Amino acid sequence: MHKVLAILVLTTAVLAGCAKSEPASETTAADKKAVAESRAGAAKGDAAAQYNLGQFYAKGQGVPQDDVRAVAWIRKAAEQGHVAAQYNLGLMYASGRGVPQDYLQAATWTRKAAEQGDAGAQLALGAMYETGQGVPQDFEQAVEWTRKAAEQGHAGAQFELGGRYEAGRGVTKDLVQAYMWINLAASRATGETQATYATSRDVIAGKITAEQVTAAQKQAREWAEAFERRQKR
């Protein structure tokens, strides 16, 4: 189950963060104003405006949908170090949207965003190392980048890290750690995702003792409390 998640994480990210949506049936005055403001800022070299304009083209919001123009503006922002633009450019290379599909470029831009601390990019880079997509396959690097995202409270990364501990892939097998991370993921997720995580956690609970479950729950509480303290600083 966790292997499947790792393999599909980039596809999921593309669908969630950069998916092609149908153009709005009617362009509103607010859309036109937002596009005009973004275009003005983008022309002056403002990275955030360039990224926003790229997103308008990607979504067909206020302008005709155009993936090539979307990539062009998102690239300008990415080259200035805009983290969301870097991540999205990596996703577009991974999916072949607006550019020829190129996993090496996908990994390059995803890494730039990951090194700036973007949790989604860190999880995506971990998945690349897991599958050898755009980078040499390296399970230890997969764990390292997944852990960085998990430590930021990213539920998907916590679930995936738990799966690595469960399988002993890239890390020493440890079902207590597996339970802890998947329990954290379940506590942060919602809806069907939460149910999936909870089911996986309960499967692991059946493989360890009651004392180990208690220990894992204690570790999860302590992690969550420490995380909340860090967020308040």
Assigned domain for 140 exists: yes
pLDDT value at residue 26: 67
The one-letter amino acid code at 177 reads: Q
Q: Alpha-carbon dihedral of residues 140, 145, 109, 137, nearest 10 degrees?
A: 20
The residue segments making up the domain with residue 83 are 2-173
Number of independent structural domains in the chain = 1
Report the chain's mean pLDDT, rounded to a whole number: 91
Assigned domain for 86 exists: yes
Banded model confidence at residue 3, pLDDT cuts 50, 70, 90 = very low
Q: How far apart are CA 66 and CA 150, in angstroms?
A: 34
The one-letter amino acid code at 62 reads: G
Asked if 165 contacts 174 with a C-beta cutoff of 8 angstroms, the reply is yes
Assigned domain for 180 exists: no
Assigned domain for 227 exists: no
* Model pLDDT for residues 71-122, shown as the tens digit of each residue: 999 999 999 999 999 999 999 999 999 999 999 999 999 999 999 999 999 9
Residue 160's CATH number: 1.25.40.10
| Residues whose CB is less than 8 angstroms from the CB of residue 119 and which lie 6 or more positions away in sequence, other chains included | 148, 149, 152, 153, 154, 157
- The answer, yes or no, to whether residue 11 has pLDDT greater than 70, is no
- The answer, yes or no, to whether residue 5 has pLDDT greater than 60, is no
Q: How far is residue 37 from each of residues 27, 61, 141, 180, measured CA to CA in Å?
A: 15, 14, 41, 47
Encoding tokens for residue 27? 């362009």
What's the rounded mean pLDDT across residues 183-200?
Answer: 97
Assigned domain for 231 exists: no
Contacts 24+ apart (CB under 8 A), 129-137: 130/3, 130/6, 130/7, 130/170, 131/6, 131/7, 133/10, 133/94, 133/103, 133/106, 133/107, 134/94, 134/103, 134/104, 134/105, 134/106, 134/107, 134/108, 134/110, 135/107
Q: How far apart are CA 214 and CA 146, in angstroms?
A: 25
